Amino acid sequence: MKRLLTLAAVASAMIIGCGPKADPVPVDDLKLHKDEIRNFELLLPTNWIVQKVPGELLVATTSRESARRFLNFQQGPAGAKIELRVAPVDSTRALDSVIKNMKLSFKDGLDRYVGPEDVTLGGKKAKKLTVEFYQKDGNFNSEAYFVEHDSTITVLQFSTFGSTFGDYRETFDKIIASVKVGQRPKVVEVQKDTVKRGPEPPSDTLRPVAGPDYTLEIPKNFQGSRTTTAGTISSMSFAGSRLDCTIQIDVFDASKQNNLSKILEQNKDKYGGAAASMTTLSGQKAGYFSYNPVANVSSRAYFMVKGDRMYRVTMNWFKPEQGTYLPLFERCLKTLQVK
């Protein structure tokens, strides 16, 4: 679980105050989800998008677009996320370090978190950490619980945009009451055809896709969807069965500013403040920033200009499966052709 780097939306947060508020996505009903490897469980909304990684993760988000916003903190639809993540304790992972690394960092260096305070979760002693800060469409809120039990760390986190956290309070409390924390896997013999499998890996076979300003090849089992990223001429996201492994292409009007060096300088604070690494995309000079938007997810944001268009290509991949996703995503980037 890695430390989160500063993002522009986070860095600009200064005070909590009155402001806009979004409409919450309703919760139709709750369904209990159980993990058969590490035996954790919790209730999740039946009408939200649910993703599972056996032995590791249960997560529900109000929409795919809001799920992407929790990765990049850019403008987008207000939404909510419920995540329960379980990992074994080892020499590099202890409860205190997990709590520390879950914190977002802020440009002014201040720590806006409350806690950790002593609570209980699933009948076990737990720590609770909360944070709230201003965004243009309302406050961002996060409430996280941490439990160490049976050589395993369980992290339960609720997050919302648009000042909607209070609207979900009753639902979140029901979910908290339903939680069973993780434990060491039981050693059992199973037939090969009954082994529980995680999300489908990306296909090594690529297929072509076309946007209004570019062509690209993506894994055969990935699907594309339009997004509503603010200020773009067009925006498409491509993903497979893992919602945290994506390629997104945003196209912007660069008729008023097409100097790549200035664009990179203007954007570096959004991705941790370090200088961009230089490369090429579609035969054009480009620069990219590497950052870690959430625990166990790594990202790169590429910037390239051609004519009066600026292209931003964002890649996100699940860090423990970097060897599978990153080389394939880099191969996809080599096929990008802008018009």
- 42-46, 110-114, 317-321, range with greatest mean pLDDT: 42-46
**Phi/psi of residue 288, nearest 5 degrees:** -140, 155
> Over the chain, what is the mean pLDDT?
81
286-305 pLDDT, tens digit each:
999 988 777 778 889 999 99
> What is the per-residue pLDDT for 230?
64
| Amino acid code (one letter) for 327 | P
The mean pLDDT value for 97-125 works out to 80
DSSP 320: G
* Cβ–Cβ under 8 Å, residues 293 and 316: yes
* Cβ–Cβ under 8 Å, residues 153 and 89: yes
pLDDT grade for 114, boundaries at 50, 70 and 90? confident
To which CATH superfamily is domain 8-178 assigned? Mog1/PsbP, alpha/beta/alpha sandwich (3.40.1000.10)
Q: Write the CATH number of the domain with boundaries 206-338.
A: 3.40.1000.10
Listed in order, the ranges of the chain carrying CATH 3.40.1000.10 are 8-178, 206-338
Q: Lowest-pLDDT range, 29-43, 77-91, 279-293, 305-319?
A: 77-91
In sequence order, which ranges of the chain are alpha helices (DSSP H)? 8-11, 64-72, 95-101, 169-178, 260-267, 322-333
39-60 pLDDT, tens digit each:
899 999 999 988 888 888 888 8
Report helix, strand or coil for 20: coil
Task: Give the Cα separation of 317 and 332 in Å (integer).
Answer: 14
Query: What is the number of helices (H) and of strands (E) in the chain?
Result: 6, 19
User: Distances in Å between the alpha carbon of 188 and those of 41, 72, 87, 192, 303?
Assistant: 20, 40, 19, 12, 49
pTM above the 0.75 mark?
no
Which tokens hold the place of 288? 């990219």
Q: Lowest-pLDDT range, 33-42, 236-245, 309-318?
A: 236-245
- CA 102, distance to chain mean position in Å, is 13
Which tokens hold the place of 17? 């105050």
| Model confidence at 75: pLDDT above 50 | yes
